[in-house]
Each structure stands twice: as structure tokens, then as C-alpha cells.
């Protein structure tokens, strides 16, 4: 039995700078909020490695998911 490995990539419109990139970023927020999708470190790895989010995009999605909690925590710890 031969197992075929399929290469998966985002369509150009969903890649950075594409017309539908915001859709991916909005879905990332929903994915982060869904407790059924696993641990936070697994979500982080999936979004960066499989979906292709940049670190900045991931942090922006995480901040939106926590209603600004990431930025608030960073500002709180900066004193």
C-alpha cells in the first residue's frame, strides 16, 4: 500500500496581502477561543506552522480573543 502525501497550501487570496486574509485572521480568533481545539501551545503551533500566520498576526488574534488582555498584561508588566 502506497501512502500519498498531499501538499497543502493556502490559496493566494488567503495568503498575506490577499483579498481574503482577514477571513483567516477572524477564523484564527474563533479557533483560539474554542476549548475543544486542544491546548494553547497546540493552537499556537498549528496557526503558525500549518495556517501560516506570522508571529505578529498570531499575537493580534490572541489579543482579540482575550479582548485586549495580551496588551493589558504586557503594559501591566512593563512598570
pTM: 0.76
Q: Does residue 15 lie within any of the structural domains?
A: no
CA atoms within 13 A on the CB side of 56: 1
Kindly state whether residue 28 falls inside one of the protein's structural domains: yes
Residue with more model confidence, 26 or 78: 26
- Does the structure show a pLDDT above 90 at 67? no
* In contact, 29 and 64? CB cutoff 8 Å: yes
Q: Report yes or no on 8 lying in a domain.
A: no
Coarse DSSP helix, strand, coil percentages of the chain, rounded to the nearest 5 percent: 65, 0, 35
Would you say residue 6 lies in a domain?
A: no
The percent of residues in the chain predicted with pLDDT above 70, rounded, is 86
C-alpha cell at 6: 498531499
Domain count across the chain: 1
**With 80 as the cut, is the pLDDT of residue 72 above it?**
no
Residue span of the structural domain in which 33 resides: 20-77
Closest CA to 9 of 38, 39, 51: 51
How far is 71 from 60, CA to CA, in rounded Å?
9
Amino acid at each position: 500500500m502506497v501512502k500519498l502525501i498531499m501538499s497543502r497550501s493556502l490559496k493566494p487570496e488567503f495568503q498575506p496581502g490577499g483579498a481574503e486574509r482577514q477571513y483567516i485572521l477572524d477564523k484564527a480568533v474563533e479557533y483560539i477561543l474554542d476549548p475543544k481545539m486542544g491546548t494553547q501551545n497546540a493552537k499556537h503551533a498549528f496557526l503558525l506552522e500549518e495556517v501560516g500566520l506570522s508571529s505578529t498576526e498570531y499575537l493580534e488574534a490572541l489579543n482579540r480573543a482575550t479582548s485586549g488582555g495580551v496588551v493589558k498584561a504586557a503594559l501591566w508588566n512593563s512598570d
